[in-house]
Amino acid sequence: MTVILCESEFSPYAELDAYQQGENAGRYGATAVFVGTMRDLNLGDEVAQMTLEHYPGMTERRLEQIVLEAQARWDLLDALVIHRVGAIKPGEAIVLVAVWTRHRGEAFAACRYIIEELKHTAPFWKKETIKDGERWVESNT
Amino acid sequence: MTVILCESEFSPYAELDAYQQGENAGRYGATAVFVGTMRDLNLGDEVAQMTLEHYPGMTERRLEQIVLEAQARWDLLDALVIHRVGAIKPGEAIVLVAVWTRHRGEAFAACRYIIEELKHTAPFWKKETIKDGERWVESNT
Amino acid sequence: MTIRVRYFASLREKMGRIEDTLVAEDIATVGDVWRVVSTGQPLPEQLLCAVNMEYAEASAPVKDGDEVAFFPPVTGGAE
Amino acid sequence: MTIRVRYFASLREKMGRIEDTLVAEDIATVGDVWRVVSTGQPLPEQLLCAVNMEYAEASAPVKDGDEVAFFPPVTGGAE
């Protein structure tokens, strides 16, 4: 189980390719992956850049707790969470959640659980740069 | 929207890395990926190898229909399905399903839909090589 | 009329052949095709059928040049 | 007792500072901390609080050496 905060652009599939260890080969039958990517449009406005502020220390703690909660609910063989912080451009990955399980039902459920909990409880805040200046993203869909 | 049948081992994350085109960058906010991998254990028996038979022509048609059905139900920006056929060893990827959408709810739903429909309607049959010989996998969980 | 009949997986092994070419006039449905190739057996309930690579019921009509396939339940994808 | 108080995102900008160090004796709860740093304002309903990096209610007790944080609703993850 690995949680990483990342200050510069990362390639989610290269990270996944590098992460898959031999030790679990043959044991897992299902991998569910979610990648959240920055869009160039939000609330009808073109967004040129986004800055992701976070609460160092609490962020890592909350992400690790979420992964442990998922592990308690489903039979996870492994999980990887990577989240960007700092300045992000459209098209760049913001977050990667990947889980490895024996069966696909629990892979989908655990992956969904982690991204929803992350979104609603991990201390990240988005500030967008639009044509007219900057604005905090206050709502969380 | 791309459907590929693959006769030799493929690396799902390298395929994904290569597939992501520039044209949709900034448009999609969510990517949901499912990878099914061969396990070394099934029904309590160690499995040394598996052979995946299929119905050439009908397989491609069915997979394309499933992707179109998903596209009709959700706002898919893109989808990629890769499925192995032939001899497969434990630890190797059997199937990759990836969908790109604006929002994460539809990404999870469409990805799940495609893998479930694939599993229940695409003409693939698994034959396992175990210690005592070979057997067809007859049930489909 | 001429019908190409294909078998897959465990059914293929059970039939001992991968396909038949049926030349007959008294065939109207997928069920009729099965009766001929199986020398009179009823269609096993769990067997699946396709006509021209689309799933079909035993009652589906067949016509000259069609490809009919019979196969056991599918087991693709992942667990 | 001494309490470190931290602010994030739009609240940090509104407060005009990233943190305060509170030295006071008459503080029992997170709500008390807020009243001091905001010079008497009630805690806005949508504001979130954490004590030592764990979410906490306004009624949660604080003790010497604690780190208390206030911040707006979180917006991480992806759409």
Q: For residue A102, what is the nearest residue in chain C, using CA coordinates?
A: C79
Q: What is the pLDDT of residue B24?
A: 81
Q: What is the pLDDT of residue B43?
A: 78
Position A13, amino acid? Y
Q: How far is CA A18 from the centre of its chain?
A: 17
**pLDDT in the model for residue B22:** 62
3-state secondary structure of A8: coil
Determine the pLDDT at residue C54.
98
Residue at token pair 């992964």: A67
d(CA D26, CA A135): 37
pLDDT at B23 over 80: no
| pTM of the predicted model as reported, rounded to 2 decimal places | 0.94
- Residue in the structure block whose two tokens are 């309490």: D3
Q: Is C74 on the interface with B (CB under 8 A)?
A: yes
The verdict on residue B34 lying in a domain is yes
CA torsion, ordered B129, B130, B134, B140, to nearest 10 deg:
-80
What is the number of other CB atoms lying within 10 angstroms of the CB of residue A9? 13
To the nearest whole Å, the CA of A107 is away from the closest chain B CA by 9
Average pLDDT of the residues of chain B = 93
Show the low-confidence residues of chain D (pLDDT under 70): 79
Q: Identify the closest residue of chain C to A106 by CA–CA distance.
A: C79
Indicate which of A11, A19, A31 best probes the interface with B, i.e. most B CBs within 10 Å of its own CB: A31
Beta bridge partners of C48: C71
Please indicate if any CB of chain A lies within 8 Å of the CB of C79: yes
How distant is the Cα of B76 from the closest Cα of chain D, in angstroms? 15
B112 found inside a domain = yes
In a domain, B141, yes or no: no
A109 touches chain B (CB under 8 A): no
Distances (CA, A) of A119 to A56, B99, D73: 16, 20, 10
Asked if residue A141 belongs to a domain, the reply is: no
Whether residue A120 lies inside any domain: the answer is yes
Summarised one tens digit per residue, pLDDT across range B66-114 is: 999 999 999 999 999 999 999 999 999 999 999 999 999 999 999 999 9
Q: Are D46 and D74 in contact (CB under 8 A)?
A: no
Mean pLDDT of A72-101: 96
Question: Which domains, from first to last, does chain D contain?
Answer: 2-71 (3.10.20.30)
The Cα–Cα gap between D68 and D4 comes to: 6
Find the residue in A nearest to B91 (Cα). A26
Residues in A closer than 8 angstroms to B16, CB to CB, are 13
Give CA–CA dist C76/D70, Å, rounded: 51
For B45-109, the DSSP string reads EEEEEEEEEE-TTHHHHHHHHHHHHHHHHS-EEEEEEEEE-EEE-TTSEEEEEEEEESSHHHHHH
Please report the pLDDT score of residue A20 as a whole number: 73
Q: Which of residues 79-98 of B touch A (CB under 8 A)?
A: 90-91
Please state the domain count of chain A. 1
In the predicted model, what is the mean pLDDT of chain A?
93
Q: Is the pLDDT of residue B141 over 60?
A: no
pLDDT at A15 over 60: yes
pLDDT over threshold 70, residue C27: yes
Question: Which positions ≥6 away from A116 have C-beta within 8 Å?
Answer: none
Which pLDDT band holds residue A22 (cuts at 50, 70, 90)? low
Spatial distance between the Cα atoms of A61 and A68, rounded to a whole number of angstroms: 11
Contacts of A40 in chain B (CB under 8 A): 26-27
Q: pLDDT tens for residues B53-73? A: 999 999 999 999 999 999 999
% chain B with pLDDT above 90: 82
* Residue B12 or residue A24, greater confidence: B12
Subunits with 3+ C-beta pairs closer than 8 A to C: A, B
CATH number, domain of B30, equals 3.90.1170.40
By CA distance, what is A10's nearest residue in B?
Answer: B17
Contact B125 C8 (CB under 8 A): yes
Give the pLDDT confidence score for residue B140 in this predicted structure.
62
Which positions in chain A touch C78 (Cβ < 8 Å)?
29-30, 104
Domain that holds residue B22: 2-136
Lowest mean per-residue pLDDT among B6-10, B18-22, C32-36, C71-75: B18-22
